Amino acid sequence: MAYKVSKVRLAKYTLLAFWFTLRNLFRKPVTVQYPMVKRPIPDRWRGGTFALTTDKETGEENCIGCKLCEKICPSGVIDVEMEKHDGRGWAKSFVLDLQGCLQCELCVQVCPTDAIVMLQGMETPVTRREDFILDKNKLMMNENIFRAAWATGLKLQDLHEPKK
């Protein structure tokens, strides 16, 4: 009896498999021929890599070296050295090691000057471990290579403000 039941089930699931195959033959494919064809990146998507921004009007670096991003990073992959001159703080050095980054965005959320941003840069393959280490130069160059994500520190902080 058990043998007969399993034969029935076998036939049922074989037919079902044929049915699914047949049905999908006439469906529009959901895959694209990447990299020749690229899907649009959703507006709110951010990730991959980071940039340090500059003021669009003055060209000055936005980072004031306050180390808030370094303090909040749960992975401890940010290292900022601060210096002061011209009446403000600067990042003397800024290193972000992407190898341990969780893409949690906390560093962006706490930044008081919109200096660090996540990007819409998915295609950032590297072949050497050291290429995961983003120093200040690389981070500043990234601003010109990739599109910045919409979410900056000040916008995100504004979202967290209680509604009046």
Count residues contacting ligand SF4 (CB under 6 A)? 28
Q: Is 67 in the site for ligand SF4 (CB under 6 A)?
A: yes
Among 48, 49, 91, 121, binds ligand SF4 (CB under 6 A): 91
Cβ atoms 90, 83 nearer than 8 A: yes
Q: Is 140 in the site for ligand SF4 (CB under 6 A)?
A: no
For residue 64 the two structure tokens come to 């004031």
Closest CA to 68 of 23, 27, 36, 115: 115
Among 48, 49, 64, 119, binds ligand SF4 (CB under 6 A): 64
Point out which residues pair with 120 in neighbouring strands: 47
Question: Would the CA dihedral through 142, 36, 24, 7 be positive or negative?
Answer: negative
Q: Is 107 in the site for ligand SF4 (CB under 6 A)?
A: yes
Q: Is 148 in the site for ligand SF4 (CB under 6 A)?
A: no
Binding region for ligand SF4 (CB under 6 A) out of 24-32, 113-121, 126-134, 140-148? 113-121
Q: Looking at beta carbons only, is 41 or 81 nearer to ligand SF4?
A: 81
Q: Is 137 in the site for ligand SF4 (CB under 6 A)?
A: no
CA distances from 120 to 49, 79, 84 (A): 8, 23, 32
* Cα gap 110→107, rounded to integer Å: 6
Q: Is 134 in the site for ligand SF4 (CB under 6 A)?
A: no
